[in-house]
Amino acid sequence: MKKDVILASKDELGVGTALKAGFYTIQSIIGLKDFGIKYLATDADGRTVVLKEFFPSEICAREGLDVAVVSNDRINEFKNLIRGFLKDADKLIELDNPNIGTVLEVFEENKTAYLVEETVNGVSLYDAVTDDSYELTSMQITSILAKLLLALHDIHALELLHRNIEPKNITLTEQLEPTLFVDFGTFRDRPSRESRAFSKIASNANKFAPLEMSIETGDQSPSADIYCLAASMYFAITGNPPMSNIQRISEIARGNQDPYKALAGEEKGYQPGFLEALDIALAPFPRDRIKSATEWLRYLDLKQETQEVEETKSLFRPAKLVETYWNIPTSAIRPAIVIMVMATALFFFLRLIVNNL
């Protein structure tokens, strides 16, 4: 049976559109971004959910209800992005952290992918900073950062990158509990050519992204997420995004000094080390940044939060705290461990023989 085509515009699906054999019904359109379209929907049980449709506007157009790639040479890129995301969907669904948006399910339809999340009542960090009725204190910002670092640690522990952290993607509840939402931007392990290209689409207009996320050949690592989170916290503190990472690198390439004005020594009310760590996390080059969420927590000396990272376990996280540098592949680590164990056993065996001579 042919589905009725309901369109709100040339891109968005219209109110009343049914998905997944009628289980979800679109109630309103939240908005369209570079990587996709966000809807408010209800499911068959009457629950309100957020439904995200993968629709990178730079390479896609609507044909009926279907999402079509506008250029034949981008079709494989689009399919590989969807395939990679679906491959890690189970990991995203299993994430259990109060400061990460709950992913209910991911499914394919209309020649694209959909992500379903629980709704969270609150305002974005962006709105909280720009709205005069809110005034975040240094203690509140410190607490928000610590909880977001715990969330980022859990994402990186799955060998995923977020790649789309910015103030508009962080929701604050009435109690100022932050929620970081995962999105189609996440990809597993080392980024592919396609995922780097998508990262470029998603971050071109993002003032909170580092240079390596704006070029297809950029070597993206957890430090890219660290930069985005630091830029978001800079915005929370000052009310403005930091100086463009690209602009800073351009000035340095010309032989000039880095024009970035450090927060340390300028802003008051923060514990020692807080602003210094944020300045380091905003370093223009990845090699100079804080490399992981846990390293950042140690810079801040937030003992309670660091202990929580060490003690909290999930289905995919090892019991012992792991720094996510990804410089050494797992395939190289396991043989090395086996060799070390065998060498140790041989040492004690030979020692036992010598002692019995």
In this structure, the strands spanning 103-109 and 24-32 are unpaired
Mean pLDDT of the chain: 80
Please give the Cα distance from 170 to 225 (Å, whole number): 13
DSSP 265-295: TTS-SPPTTHHHHHHHHT-SSGGGS--SHHH
Please give the Cα distance from 345 to 177 (Å, whole number): 51
| Direct distance between the N- and C-terminal alpha carbons of the chain, in angstroms, rounded to an integer | 86
Task: Assign 71 a pLDDT band (cuts: 50, 70, 90).
Answer: confident
Where do runs of H (alpha helix) occur along 131-281?
Answer: 138-157, 193-203, 222-238, 245-253, 274-281
Higher per-residue confidence, 193 vs 121: 121
pLDDT digits (tens, 9 = 90+) for 305-347: 444 444 443 333 333 333 333 333 334 334 443 454 455 445 5
Would you call 103 helix, strand, or coil by DSSP? strand
Kindly tell me the burial class for residue 303, based on how many C-beta atoms sit within 10 Å of its own C-beta (0-12, 13-18, 19 or more).
Answer: exposed
As given in the structure block, the two tokens for residue 44 are 């068959």
Q: Output DSSP code: residue 314.
A: -
pLDDT for position 106: 92
pLDDT digits (tens, 9 = 90+) for 4-63: 556 556 789 999 999 999 999 999 999 887 678 999 999 999 999 999 999 988 888 999
Kindly tell me the burial class for residue 351, based on how many C-beta atoms sit within 10 Å of its own C-beta (0-12, 13-18, 19 or more).
Answer: exposed
Residue percentage of the chain with pLDDT more than 70: 74
pLDDT for position 7: 56
Kindly tell me the burial class for residue 28, based on how many C-beta atoms sit within 10 Å of its own C-beta (0-12, 13-18, 19 or more).
Answer: exposed
Ordered structural domains, the chain, with CATH: 1-119 (3.30.200.20), 121-326 (1.10.510.10)
CA quadruple 216, 218, 222, 223: dihedral sign: negative
Element (H or E) spanning 171, and its range? Answer: strand 170-172
pLDDT digits (tens, 9 = 90+) for 228-243: 999 999 999 999 999 9
Global confidence as pTM: 0.78
pLDDT for position 338: 41
Please give the Cα distance from 140 to 214 (Å, whole number): 31
Averaged over 271-295, what is the pLDDT?
94
